[in-house]
Chains A and B, each alone.
Chain A
Amino acid sequence: MIQKKICLLGASSVGKTSLVKQFVEGIFSEKYLTTIGVKVDKKSLVVDDEEINFMLWDIEGSDRYNVFEERYLRGAAGYIIVVDQTRASSLIEGLDIHTLAKQVTSCPAVLAINKSDLPSTWHLSAIEQDAYQKLFDLQFTTSAKTGEHVDDMFLALAALLLKDKKNDITAE
């Protein structure tokens, strides 16, 4: 079975832990509990009859109390930058992390615009949206609360990784 390390990155309290919890256990809690360091979860998926095991690295959010460290990305097959659509500052933070991440890895990157159950406070023009979309391999609007597009996102990432594997003749 293929095993892939996926990192969830982003500003603090954007919902990284909640996305993992929703995806792995199918539950959501309103209570905010900040993550310290990193928490690893596992979940198996089946895409096109192929089983893939995701090791989900839920990494402590970046803010003035915790600076993003590239070392967490070592060996990652993909990463998800999570942003909170009720806080424009989390998008900027997310893009900054993405820039840093790209310097150490060329693996696929996903943008998850989370908290879609709440009204958005930023208004991106079509040009801006297009520009951000181009920076990532995949982009999803998610809600860890309602589960909207959460499974879709992880499945799409799995499919992308499998496709890349097939195209890569040097892969095991």
Chain B
Amino acid sequence: MADYQFQQKTKQLAREILLSNDRLFLQNEYLQTRLRSILSQPPEQSNLVFALTKVIENADFGVIVVDANFSTIIENTAALTLFEHNSSNNTTAVRPINIITKLMKNQLPEYDRIISTKSNWDGELCWISPPSTLKWLKIGFHPVKNKLNEPESWLVFANDISTIKHLAQRNEKLALQDMLTELPNRFSFWQTLDQQIITGSPFYLLYVDINEFRRHNEFYGHQEGDKLLIDFGRRIESVIKKSDFIARVGGDEFAIILANIDNQEACKGAIERILETISKPYQTNKLESFHISVSIGAANFPNDATSVEELMKFVDLSAYSGKENKKNSLLFYSQEIKDASHHLIKVEQELRQAINQEEFELFLQPIVDLESHSISKAEALIRWNHPTKGLISPDKFIPIAEKSGLIITIGEWVIKRACQMIKEINAKGHNVIISINLSPSQVIDENLFSYLHSCIKTSQVEPSSLELEVTEGVLVDDYSIAKRLLNNARAIGITVSVDDFGTGYSSLAYLKKLPLDFLKIDRSFIKDIVADENDKAIVRAVIAMAHNLKLSVISEGVETEEQLKFLIKNSCNSVQGYLFSRPVQLEYFLDILKEQW
């Protein structure tokens, strides 16, 4: 009987928590679906603000919209009720957003990083306000960015989860355990980390973040995402020592304490074991196999930091700095990471300024058609005229622009400028195609094609005067999106070339399936073409294959007469390189065209 009662009590509690969770999940899902459907309508077809305000007002939980400076734009009744202060002495009303940001600052070591990198954050906060307020809040904190990747506003969701917490705390095990993975949770982790520090013995703290987890969730569904998290946690648990400690500290973030390790080599050994097990393939319920990669940040106690907050801050920053899509990364905390993170933020700010002050310039590098012996095309290459550092080449700033999302705005500027250039070149009586490079983010940007189309229309140039260059990687990774874009572009007469051919994935299957016109053989194959038999064979094979697929070939990086001779002999269609001209400004390019005639 006692056993029955115990079971009844435990299950009662557990099911009440499940129900509360279900309700919260449904409310969130409903609101997000409604907001998404309203936002996806063209503004002219809907009274956007009215509809949004109505949806927000009717939500059962707090919704707050603030501007970049955290001044409130909209807050619903639920938000005001949630943060109603029960102290009668309190005469000055404090805005809900101020309470939330204050709690975040005090309770989250990653707060500064979230704000400076404009990241999404979902998690729990505890609001204690004497004499009698104690609320547990589930907060969603999401930036709404503009084209310059600056947060124009922040969207904040606040749910009161005190009941769930209260229920959970009645059962100590549940309060310290993550319900999904059954690993210790964030609170349990903080307690353990605290205790570990008190013992004074050295250890390493790891922060493991699954790369592109959100994308995985979107692709396979949340149920599969949950399954992955459970499997992932179990795998790590199986390779760490009994004295080590693992916890799920966030959505797709796990923290590990490697006890009694005081040197990087030993730590690397432990991490290698973790990487080995998590790199093995995973399976969905439908038996589809997939791989994941992780970003790991590591910091040492006591060498790197001696407090819980600092250690967490450092591993978080290290994991974030190493985050590169599709690759496992491991970064140990160092002063360089801190400096690099500052450098990144600084360059991003300068880039934003560069966009506003039009500090970019497009250079053109001629492409010579070997049949007509004339310049048929030119590749547009961006340069940054930095006010103090002078001309900066794209490899120094494009990766940062790509990471920060500024690439979309910069890319749009390139398209616009290229169209203007075509017009100027046409006005001088020349017909030359300008090819522009598209970055991976641009290819997956839904607005790219309509922007291209409108630029062509506004500048009144022929679409056939424009060519798009995409790299192999983009074509393989985002095959269906790339195909749609290229089909649209080709339909209006824009040609398409594959850039850096041979350096990427070299999956030949897509060559057959995608609408392409040209292959550009990467300069690395051309460099030693005269002496290296392997390069010769590769280039010959690529040209033959391209011609069979009815594609023309452009060779990049042609610098000597010997290289040119070889390419002519092997029926290459066009060439580009310093032998003809380096990238030049528009006026010099026009001079070259003039001389040619």
Contacts and interface: CB of A to CB of B under 8 A. Distances in A.
Contact of B26 (A64, A66, A121): A121
Contacts of A61: 15
Given A87-B26, A121-B26, A121-B30, A36 B15 contact: no
Contact of B15 (A65, A86, A87, A88): A65
A150 to B, nearest CB: 22
A89 interface: yes
Contacts of B570: none
B18 A63 contact: yes
A33 interface: yes
Given A34-B11, A36-B11, A65-B11, A87 B30 contact: no
A15 to B, nearest CB: 12
Contacts of A64: 18
Interface residues of A, number: 16
- Which secondary structure dominates chain A's binding surface? loop
Nearest to B5: A36
B48 interface: no
A36 B4 contact: yes
A12 B7 contact: no
B551 interface: no
A170 to B, nearest CB: 41
Contact of B22 (A33, A34, A65, A87): A87
Contacts of A66: 11
B194 to A, nearest CB: 31
B12 A34 contact: yes
Q: Which 5 A/B pairs are nearest by Cβ-Cβ distance?
A: A34-B12, A36-B8, A34-B15, A12-B15, A34-B11
Interface string B1-29: 00010011001101110110010001000
22 contacts: A12-B15, A12-B18, A13-B15, A13-B18, A13-B19, A32-B15, A32-B16, A32-B19, A33-B12, A34-B8, A34-B11, A36-B11, A63-B15, A63-B18, A65-B14, A66-B11, A86-B26, A87-B26, A88-B26, A89-B22, A121-B26, A121-B30
A1 to B, nearest CB: 32
Interface in B518-543: none
A32 B17 CA distance: 12
Interface residues of B, number: 13
Interface in A51-81: 61, 63-66
A12 B12 CA distance: 10
Interface in B20-57: 22, 26, 30
Interface of A: 12-13, 32-34, 36, 61, 63-66, 86-89, 121
A121 B26 CA distance: 8
Given A12-B18, A34-B11, 8 more contacts: A32-B12, A36-B7, A36-B8, A36-B11, A65-B11, A66-B11, A87-B22, A89-B22
Nearest to A87: B22
A87 B27 CA distance: 11
A13 B16 CA distance: 9
Contacts of A36: 4, 7-8, 11
B30 to A, nearest CB: 7
A13 B26 CA distance: 16
Interface string B257-287: 0000000000000000000000000000000
Nearest to A64: B18
A22 B569 CA distance: 91
A30 B7 CA distance: 22
Contacts of B15: 12-13, 32, 34, 61, 63, 65
Nearest to A60: B11
A63 B19 CA distance: 11
A121 B22 CA distance: 12
Contacts of A89: 22
A131 B12 CA distance: 34
B71 to A, nearest CB: 35
A82 to B, nearest CB: 15
A12 B14 CA distance: 11
A88 B7 CA distance: 27
A150 B73 CA distance: 49
Contacts of B7: 36
B32 to A, nearest CB: 14
Nearest to A122: B26
A74 B512 CA distance: 60
A34 B12 CA distance: 5
Nearest to B179: A64
A64 B15 CA distance: 9
A32 B7 CA distance: 16
Nearest to A61: B15
Contacts of B26: 86-88, 121
A120 B458 CA distance: 50
A6 to B, nearest CB: 24
A88 B26 CA distance: 9
Contacts of A63: 15, 18
A100 B479 CA distance: 40
A7 to B, nearest CB: 20
Contacts of A88: 26
A87 B14 CA distance: 17
Contacts of B8: 34, 36
A13 B324 CA distance: 44
A64 B22 CA distance: 13
Question: Among the interface residues A13, A34, A63, A65, which one has the most CB atoms of the partner chain B within 10 A?
Answer: A34
A59 to B, nearest CB: 14
Contacts of A121: 26, 30
A121 B23 CA distance: 11
Interface string B375-398: 000000000000000000000000
Contacts of B19: 13, 32
Interface string B489-522: 0000000000000000000000000000000000
A32 B23 CA distance: 15
Nearest to B13: A34
A86 B23 CA distance: 9
A88 B16 CA distance: 17
A54 B343 CA distance: 76
A73 B573 CA distance: 76
